A = this chain, B = another copy of it.
């Protein structure tokens, strides 16, 4: 059996679209997704699950209804389930998301133009 590591930089070089998470690995029923962010996203929440953000490059701000958090490269944050949040990146940021397979990027409400295709592997 061949065992192959996953290189974040190599995977990030494979796409340029913003706000479209790409799956690079799965652990049990959780997926690891790379995403490039710039500008403002939409307010949303995930009713049934926490969501992890690990910033690989750049800096990300997540706004909450009661505050915000800045996450830089080499930092992480876990958004608790059911908590409304809105990611924002002034400059382009590269982020590793970890969440259960099947989570929709815009939350549990209606789909919108911001809703990305799910389970897209690179």
Q: How far is the CA of A51 from the CA of B30 in the complex (A)?
A: 11
- Chain A interface size band reads 35 or more
> Is A35 positioned at the interface, with any CB of B under 8 Å from its CB?
no
Let me know if A72 and B5 touch, CB within 8 A. Answer: yes
What is the CB-to-nearest-CB distance from A12 to chain B, in angstroms, rounded to a whole number? 10
Residues of chain B lying within 8 A (CB to CB) of residue A32 = 52, 76
Q: How far, in Å, is A76 (CB) from chain B's closest CB?
A: 5
Q: Mark A21-43, 1 if CB is under 8 A from B, else 0.
A: 00011111010100000000000
The answer to whether A75 and B3 have CB atoms under 8 Å apart is no
Instruction: Identify the closest chain B residue to A9 (Cβ).
Output: B74
Residue A71 interfacial (CB < 8 Å): yes
Question: Across the interface, do A74 and B7 meet the contact criterion of CB distance under 8 Å?
Answer: yes
Q: Is A64 an interface residue (CB 8 A)?
A: yes
Interface string of A1-23 (1 = CB under 8 A from B): 11111111100000000000000
A77 within 8 A of B: yes
Whether A49 sits at the interface, judged by CB under 8 Å, is yes
> Which residues of chain B are near A100, meaning CB under 8 Å?
28
